[in-house]
Structure 1
Amino acid sequence: MSIEIVTLTTEAELIPFQEQLRQVYYRAFSLPPHNESLADAQHFVSRQIVHHSKNEHFRFCIARSLETGTLLGFIYGHTTKKGLWWHDQVAPYLSEAQYQQWFSNGYEIVTFGVDPAAQRQGIGGMLHDTILYGLPHRTAILSTQHENLPARRFYQKRGWQIILHDFYFSGNPLPYVILGRAL
């Protein structure tokens, strides 16, 4: 299968892909450990992406089959800064040295998913490498569920390191790890 990675930088560029994004998000995140619903997938497409597309250095990368045009995966992020939910949840738990190292010039990976039927074909690696390529940031940061061992192994192979163990986001009873990577 031939794969194309496309980088989108505006909300308008995302519009043609909204339905396929909803479907891929649901297939990728409805399974354990995420257990997301169809309503969560719709929220992701209709509200969350729109919100984040207005942030500095917003990038949304999609992977699609060249043969069929089918969307297979996505990743998106932006510059992290005070006033953004994820940043403001995590930053108070970092030492001043950690904050300066990881957040003072950091790129936040917000959401990353590959359709389960397309996993283990290198698509996640292509998406990961594309979104980080050429960024003007010193570091990249993200979170993943503590129990999501496949994701943690994926990130570890790509040079990510754990910044915080057993982190709990407000309103979420599941533990996460906060990861960082030098760019």
Structure 2
Amino acid sequence: MSSSGEHAPDPREITVGPLDLAARVDDALAVQALAFGLTDDEIGVRRHIVQRHLASPSARALGATTEEGRLVGFVYGMPNDRTQWWSTVVHPYLRQEGNDDWLSDAFVITELHVHPAFQNRGIGRQLITMLTDAATEPRSLLSALDTESPARALYRSLGYRDLARRVRFPSAPSPYVVMGAWLPLRRR
């Protein structure tokens, strides 16, 4: 408390807004590495993936920054393209479950990560809802590790449901789940 009896402002006040992901890719990957446990080699691979995605004019990104400008969370995505790698990998799994129609007319959340020290503050929820609120597609897709986790709980609370489980991405040691939600995402 300050001497006037009021609470001092939180020095970690967070602002969510547009992010020039190309300019801050290393900051974003540092957050992802901490949140997702990536090795240096995996970070290098992810850098190339992000740069390739950003070549799409429809890719959009938001960041969560502290007052000092430190990036503590980010999300990016784009309208789905059935010819891109992710779609070609998940398509057979979705088809097997009768959900392959979800690949059409959907906005894909490519990455969503929040620095562990800033999790459980609603930052991830704010990032994903702000990004999908700007989408023109009627629904959204994402993939997540196929385990019960705080991320899966967040996605379910927003209206995402499992469309295909035990999805195997090449070189990923653990299975994933593909989840889908109608837009706009559910609010609390």
Calculate the TM-score normalised by the size of structure 1: 0.85
1:160/1:17 CA distance change after superposition, 3 Å: same
1:54/1:18 CA distance change after superposition, 3 Å: closer
Q: CA RMSD in A?
A: 1.8
Does structure 1 conserve the Cα–Cα contact (< 8 Å) formed by 2:145 and 2:175? yes
Matching residue of 1:85: 85
**Larger RCO: 1 or 2 (CA < 8 Å, sep 6+):** 1
In the TM superposition, what is the alpha-carbon distance from 1:15 to its structure 2 partner?
Answer: 4.1
In the TM superposition, what is the alpha-carbon distance from 1:74 to its structure 2 partner?
Answer: 0.6
In the TM superposition, what is the alpha-carbon distance from 1:113 to its structure 2 partner?
Answer: 0.6
Query: Which one has a larger percent helix, Structure 1 or Structure 2?
Result: 1
Aligned partners of 1:19 and 1:81: how far apart in 2? 26
2:165 counterpart of 1:165 = yes
2:100 counterpart of 1:99 = yes
Aligned partners of 1:171 and 1:25: how far apart in 2? 18
1:16/1:82 CA distance change after superposition, 3 Å: closer
Map 1:31-50 to 2 at 5 A. Answer: 36-45=38-47, 47-50=48-51
Matching residue of 1:3: 14
Does structure 1 conserve the Cα–Cα contact (< 8 Å) formed by 2:22 and 2:51? no
1:4/1:147 CA distance change after superposition, 3 Å: same
1:62-95 CA distance string (max 9 Å, x none): 1101x21111101111111122111010112323
Aligned partners of 2:132 and 2:119: how far apart in 1? 20
Aligned partners of 1:128 and 1:91: how far apart in 2? 23
Does structure 2 conserve the Cα–Cα contact (< 8 Å) formed by 1:56 and 1:79? no
Aligned partners of 1:181 and 1:110: how far apart in 2? 14
Aligned partners of 1:39 and 1:170: how far apart in 2? 16
In the TM superposition, what is the alpha-carbon distance from 1:56 to its structure 2 partner?
Answer: 5.0
The size of the alignment, in residue pairs, is 171
Aligned-pair identity in percent equals 27
1:172/1:136 CA distance change after superposition, 3 Å: same
1:143/1:14 CA distance change after superposition, 3 Å: closer
Determine which structure has more spread, i.e. the larger CA radius of gyration. Answer: 2
Give the letter aligned to residue 21 of structure 1. Answer: A
Does structure 2 conserve the Cα–Cα contact (< 8 Å) formed by 1:89 and 1:169? yes
Matching residue of 2:6: none
Give the letter aligned to residue 3 of structure 1. Answer: I
Aligned partners of 1:37 and 1:72: how far apart in 2? 19
1:95-150 CA distance string (max 9 Å, x none): 395222x1110111111110001101111111111110121101110111112521
Which consecutive unaligned segments of at least 5 residues does structure 1 have? 31-35
Map 1:1-183 to 2 at 5 A. Answer: 1-8=12-19, 13-30=20-37, 36-45=38-47, 47-55=48-56, 57-65=58-66, 67-95=67-95, 98-100=99-101, 102-183=102-183
Calculate the TM-score normalised by the size of structure 2: 0.83
